[in-house]
Amino acid sequence: MKILITGGAGFVGSALALSLKKNYPSYEVYALDNLKRRGSELNINRLKAAGVEFVHGDIRSREDFDSIPAVDAVIEASAEPSVLAGLNGSPDYLINTNLVGTINCLNFALKHKAAFVFLSTSRIYPIKPLEKLTYVEEDTRFALAQQQPLPGASEKGIGEYFPLDGARSLYGATKLASELMIHEYNEFYGLKTVINRCGVLTGPWQMGKADQGVMVLWVARHFYEQQLAYIGFNGTGKQTRDMLHVADLYRLVDWQLHHMDQVNGEILNVGGGVEVSTSLVELTKICQEVTGKTIPIKAVTEGRTADIPLYITDNSKVTALTGWKPEISIRQIVEEVHEWLQENAEQLSYVLK
């Protein structure tokens, strides 16, 4: 099999590329990336050492696909991933990457009749409907109540039939617009596609920032003994997310690549679920235990644009369809990230410190 991974030097793309090459040494894997995100350049040597062919290019440019041979599958893992992208300035890069770039990827896949695996986001679900959900405030987190006022929501999390009307962030809008185009290519061109609406992805080699990659950011700030803040929701740190280790995502993408007919045309919510979820205050406690360090954490009552108190993925559909479910716990994620930081502290300090 020949596979193109866009965003292939990014956190998710490189992890998928390395795992595919490790498990299928005979596969030809191409990683296309513009290296815009700080720290992505650190993955080039890792990719080359594993036998992945790195292609320096940009999905916004159709010409940059010309050097890539025919492939059997495209994994679209490229994105401007920040929820805050475009809100404080021009949205051009965001739109051209997350929407126009996806269309270029679709056309490349169509040219070669390649299967198309799209990594979307839980951020396609609009903010105001999410805010209408019934929450329970527990000692250390917010949790979803059993009875919910909207379809697609339950104590298990958010399912695929949650309402889509409303604003969601420019980032979420570009990903949803890409999903709509993927539907059209699937229906009218016969392109085999699957859409994975991912929750918070994490793991070693993620260059975490405040607006994207919060798990790694939290562990790194403890490791380097720097300050953090509980922002919004009265500064309690009870805002809660499910987390998905990139190795768990890989197991699903691997299955999809080899069972494309069984997932063709599907939209799947993919995340850690209730079992692999944490609030910030709970995450702080685990970080203290794993790193052995306690750092100052400010309480900021004022919230941030596009932030929500709680998001948990309901994996019921993807589990029923594929048998997949996440296996790596919050504590194991923190331990792996901490070990990675210890092994690469000097190399990573300019990005994460």
309-340 per-position pLDDT tens digit = 999 999 999 999 999 999 999 999 999 999 99
d(CA 300, CA 235): 5
243-294 per-position pLDDT tens digit = 999 999 999 999 999 999 999 999 999 999 999 999 999 999 999 999 999 9
Distance set, CA 330 to CA 273, 294, 305 (Å): 11, 19, 26
Both 98 and 220 in one domain: the answer is no
* Res. 82: pLDDT tops 90: no
User: Is residue 353, in this structure, part of any structural domain at all?
Assistant: no
Confidence tier at 353 by pLDDT (50, 70, 90): confident
d(CA 119, CA 101): 13
Confidence tier at 219 by pLDDT (50, 70, 90): very high
17: containing domain: 1-124+168-198
Both 11 and 86 in one domain: the answer is yes
* Res. 69: pLDDT tops 80: yes
Position 28 scores a pLDDT of 98
d(CA 72, CA 274): 35
Position 332 scores a pLDDT of 98
Average pLDDT of the segment spanning 203-217: 88
Both 90 and 182 in one domain: the answer is yes
How many structural domains compose the chain?
2
Other beta carbons within 10 Å of 28: 16
Position 112 scores a pLDDT of 98
Instruction: Name the residue type at position 273.
Output: G
Query: What are the beta bridge partners of residue 313?
Result: 158
User: Is residue 135, in this structure, part of any structural domain at all?
Assistant: yes
Both 145 and 55 in one domain: the answer is no
* Res. 8: pLDDT tops 80: yes
d(CA 64, CA 70): 14
* Res. 39: pLDDT tops 80: yes
* Residue-averaged pLDDT of the chain: 96
Position 56 scores a pLDDT of 97
d(CA 351, CA 344): 12
Give the alpha-carbon dihedral of 268, 3, 261, 103, to 10 degrees.
60
Average pLDDT of the segment spanning 20-47: 96
Is residue 248 within 8 Å of residue 13, measured between CB atoms?
Answer: no
User: Is residue 117, in this structure, part of any structural domain at all?
Assistant: yes
Both 47 and 132 in one domain: the answer is no
Backbone angles phi, psi at 272, to 5 degrees: -75, -25
Is residue 2 within 8 Å of residue 28, measured between CB atoms?
Answer: yes
Both 46 and 151 in one domain: the answer is no
User: Is residue 260, in this structure, part of any structural domain at all?
Assistant: no
User: Is residue 250, in this structure, part of any structural domain at all?
Assistant: no
Q: Give the CATH number for residue 114.
A: 3.40.50.720
User: Is residue 103, in this structure, part of any structural domain at all?
Assistant: yes
Nearest to 196 by CA among 127, 248, 129: 248
d(CA 294, CA 239): 20
Average pLDDT of the segment spanning 194-202: 97
Both 291 and 334 in one domain: the answer is yes
Helices 280-291 and 214-223: angle between axes, nearest 10 degrees: 40
Both 105 and 143 in one domain: the answer is no
* Res. 298: pLDDT tops 80: yes
Both 119 and 133 in one domain: the answer is no
User: Is residue 352, in this structure, part of any structural domain at all?
Assistant: no
86-136 per-position pLDDT tens digit = 887 789 999 999 999 999 999 999 999 999 999 999 999 999 999 999 999
162-194 per-position pLDDT tens digit = 999 999 999 999 999 999 999 999 999 999 999
Both 174 and 40 in one domain: the answer is yes
Backbone angles phi, psi at 151, to 5 degrees: -65, 155
Q: pTM of the prediction?
A: 0.97
Both 150 and 62 in one domain: the answer is no
Both 150 and 241 in one domain: the answer is yes
User: Is residue 265, in this structure, part of any structural domain at all?
Assistant: no
Average pLDDT of the segment spanning 60-68: 97
